[in-house]
Amino acid sequence: MVIKNICCLGAGYVGGPTCSVIALKCPDITVTVVDLSKERISQWNSDKLPIYEPGLDEVVQKCRGVNLFFSCDVETAVKTADLIFISVNTPTKTFGNGKGRAADLKYVEGAARLIAGVATGHKIVVEKSTVPVRAAESIMNILKANQRPGVSYQILSNPEFLAEGTAIDDLLNADRVLIGGEEDSVEGRAAIEELCWVYEHWIPRKNILTTNTWSSELSKLAANAFLAQRISSINSLSAVCEATGADVSEVARAVGTDTRIGSKFLQASVGFGGSCFQKDILNLVYICECLNLPEVAAYWQQVIDLNEYQKSRFTNKVIMSLFNTVTDKQITLLGFAFKKDTGDTRESPAIHVAKILLDEGAKLHIYDPKVEYNQIMEDLTHPCVTDEPERVKKQITIHTDAYSATKGTH
């Protein structure tokens, strides 16, 4: 098989940028990104994309309408595709077994059933979403249970390692691409080679790692757990530094110059956020519990617990610095997304900080050039944040200029 058509199920923070770069680097491959949300697809086809990433606009504008397409016609895209990426959301379960920890795979299952219902010929189905170990087996079981004559599948795992805010650069200059599949079968090895061929258009072969499916799935969870662990480690030392007069930046620099450790992810902060770190660590904790490894589960749970402690510790210091009361005092938040160069507010530490300050009666003035007004309001009036949304709205002022946001602040 020579891959000529790629379909991506899911036009979010992973599917959109990833397939845009594939289209840029593989001009002979037609790439179609599909989503059930008409509004989201409309945004991808407009001048105002649904997500902000440095460099993304330029890539999309160059390829869109040439070999990159965004559509709601899911069935046609699946039928014509040689390779299908599953890049749908995998949130944490909010009810049932594993509530608050296990990954909810309903969207992955839905994608698999959709593929099974309309696929023709041979399809390579690729997990792009972050999933628990052995999720590929579940996908294959669904596909086989609904398999029609003349249709065959190979399942691969190809987790993304990009970071929001640097996604395009991460995709263009990936330090590694990981592909997992059935290495012990001829068909599995052939599917792996097909996906390798796609990435070899711009990624050196030595940077493309191949392994079995289970190792690939676990590697993604492990990578995010290790990165979050580093953040929690330096944040724990920030508390020690503040109590002793040491400078956490100097400690981080001294530690980071050790080549065995390195300097990345050693910047003390309010805590990590985003849609991946907490979700993936909780998933890892749940897997460990299911495997009867309570000590391992407790170890990784501490990374989450330390992150929660850091957010609360920061907010308490703010309140204490204002004579232990912030009622009717103006406090400015410069930045609301979970990190710079993105408009993504999912699990942002700013939401946690804002919640406590609002509960204490503060008047919040907020500025973030990449986050929409409606998104900030939606986050801070969510039932998980407050049961008095009208009161909260009166306490919030959102600015379009950093200087106006800080005017009159305490």
Residue 245 lies inside a defined structural domain of this protein? no
- pTM listed for this prediction: 0.93
Residues of the chain with pLDDT under 70: none
Question: Angle between the 135-145 and 213-244 helix axes, to the nearest 10 degrees?
Answer: 150
Number of domains in the chain: 2
Last residue of one domain, picked from the residues 192, 220, 248 = 220
276 in active site: yes
In a domain, 299, yes or no: no
Instruction: Return contacts of 387-393, CB within 8 angstroms, 24+ apart.
Output: 392/358
User: Which of 198, 220, 242 is the C-terminal boundary of a domain?
Assistant: 220
Annotated binding site for NAD(+): 10-15, 35, 40, 88-92, 129-130, 164, 276-279, 346
Rounded to the nearest angstrom, the gap between the alpha carbon of residue 189 and the centroid of all alpha carbons in its chain is 28
Q: Please say whether the beta carbons of 78 and 42 come within 8 A.
A: no
**Pair 18, 150 in one domain:** yes
Cβ-Cβ contacts under 8 Å for 139 (sequence gap 6 or more): 86, 108, 109, 112, 125, 127, 155
Q: Is residue 206 included in any domain, yes or no?
A: yes
Considering the domain boundaries, does residue 235 fall inside one? no
Note whether residue 389 is domain-resident: yes
Asked if 347 and 385 count as a contact pair (C-beta separation under 8 A), the reply is no
Q: What is the CATH number of the domain that holds 58?
A: 3.40.50.720
Of 220, 253, 275, the residue that ends a domain is 220
Note whether residue 61 is domain-resident. Answer: yes
Annotated binding residues, as ranges? Answer: 10-15, 35, 40, 88-92, 129-130, 164, 276-279, 346
Q: What is the domain extent for residue 374?
A: 325-406
Helix boundaries (H) for 181-276: 186-199, 213-244, 248-256
pLDDT digits (tens, 9 = 90+) for 244-264: 999 999 999 999 999 999 999
**Does residue 265 lie within any of the structural domains?**
no
Based on the domain organization, do 193 and 342 belong to the same domain? Answer: no
**Residue 62 resides in a domain:** yes
Residue from 276, 288, 290, 384 carrying the catalytic annotation: 276
The angle subtended at Cα 78 by Cα 77 and Cα 80, nearest 5°, is: 70
Q: Compute how many other C-beta atoms are within 10 angstroms of the C-beta atom of residue 173.
A: 11
